Amino acid sequence: MGSDNAGVDRLTGTGAGDAPRWDRFARWGRWPARALLALVAALLLLAALTPLDRGHTVPPVARDTHTALIQPTRDDDLAFYDRVIERIAGGESYYDFIVEEQRARDYPVRPGITVRLPTLAYLHAILGELWMTALAAVLLAATLAAWWHRLGDEPGGERHRLVAIALLAASATLGLNRWFFVLHELWAGMLIALAFGLHRPGRWGWALAVTALALAIREHVLPFVLLLAAMAAWRRDWTEAAAWAGLVLLFLVGIGAHLALLSPQILASDPQGPGWLALRGLAGWLGNVVLSSNLRFLPHGIAGPIVLLALLGWAGWKSAAGTTGTLLYLGYGIAFMLAGRTNNFYWGAVVAPAIFVGLAFLPMAGASLLRAARGR
């Protein structure tokens, strides 16, 4: 459908009157543009100065005195998930042992939501690491293909498609890291990226199915579902809104069953887990995304501002995808500022795979915002 946008793409003038219709900031007034520029400048400075906790990383492979490779040590969380998968593969039922296993490792079991949904553990136990690796490769390829087509369908997307796909590939390849295959957020984030690429207003069936799987893996996908439901309602597409609302209802039934199966095993003497309302501010937002993406290899003074610039790029792209991306990543960013402790940094993997697509639209957004601020 790239030809649908050919006429739009020829509008390359620098004035607001002949700017492409998908350039959101080109038609902004002088003072709104100046206000946003001031806000962006202040946030970028804060992001560069905000210290981010290093979090968990893949330890380097060491060598002993005989130069034989020593396998890196799994951290406690990854080792715990390994053990859960091992017990399921050995024929045990998840709900027969999970509370006991968490209690033995001093992991909280109250409230019951601290116990993960069993979906990913069963998939891993059934498929094994080899087929999980193949599944990760297929998921990455499908996500790149979905976004290639979506960028071609969206106004302004075809012009930026090559850069956007390169950015998506660079960030989403983290999903191929077998070290983190047991992390629920890794798979949920890749499935959200795929569902986002598949979704179109009026064409949402496959996106709904993919999102349902993501939601069955990690409840942190729920805000994505609620956003798409709200946007469908805003468009007065009541059929789509009802479909997303139905998925929310199905999820609530599933989480209720999950908690009911756990309840008989949870004792009043079990300690209550620490609260998630941590109010970490900008460090929570930037730390979660940076440490859960390939930005973790960059100095934090550079990596933090890149997250904010990606959001600015999304905001400058006036399209269905641009609006969805802006609301999605800003919403999760605010949530990370309010909720999640330092050791919950991996929650950022839920949004990390596709967030940096916004950087492809940053030059357009920045240039138009500057021109608007000058009154041109």
pTM: 0.89
Q: What are the pLDDT tens digits along the chain (376 aa)?
A: 443 343 333 333 444 557 789 999 999 999 999 999 999 999 999 999 998 865 444 433 333 334 444 456 778 889 999 999 999 999 999 999 999 999 999 999 999 999 999 999 999 999 999 999 999 999 999 999 999 999 999 999 999 999 999 999 999 999 999 999 999 999 999 999 999 999 999 899 999 999 999 999 999 999 999 999 999 999 999 999 999 999 999 999 999 999 999 999 999 888 888 888 889 999 999 999 999 999 999 998 999 999 999 999 999 999 999 999 999 999 999 999 999 988 889 999 999 999 999 999 999 999 999 999 998 6
Say if 50 falls within a structural domain: no
pLDDT reported for residue 343? 87
Four-residue CA torsion sign, 177, 179, 185, 188: positive
pLDDT reported for residue 71? 52
Say if 137 falls within a structural domain: yes
Say if 48 falls within a structural domain: no
Say if 59 falls within a structural domain: no
Rounded to the nearest 10°, the torsion over CA 167, 224, 147, 204 is 180
Q: Structural domain of residue 93, as residue ranges?
A: 75-373
Distances (CA, A) of 266 to 2, 77, 95, 110, 121: 56, 20, 11, 7, 21
Say if 153 falls within a structural domain: yes
pLDDT reported for residue 255? 96
- The domain tally of the chain equals 1
pLDDT reported for residue 76? 86
Which residues, in sequence order, are CB contacts of 9 under 8 Å at separation 6+?
Answer: 20, 156, 158, 159
* CB distance 232 to 244 below 8 Å: yes
Say if 60 falls within a structural domain: no
Say if 97 falls within a structural domain: yes
Q: How many residues would you count in the chain?
A: 376
pLDDT reported for residue 75? 83
Say if 80 falls within a structural domain: yes
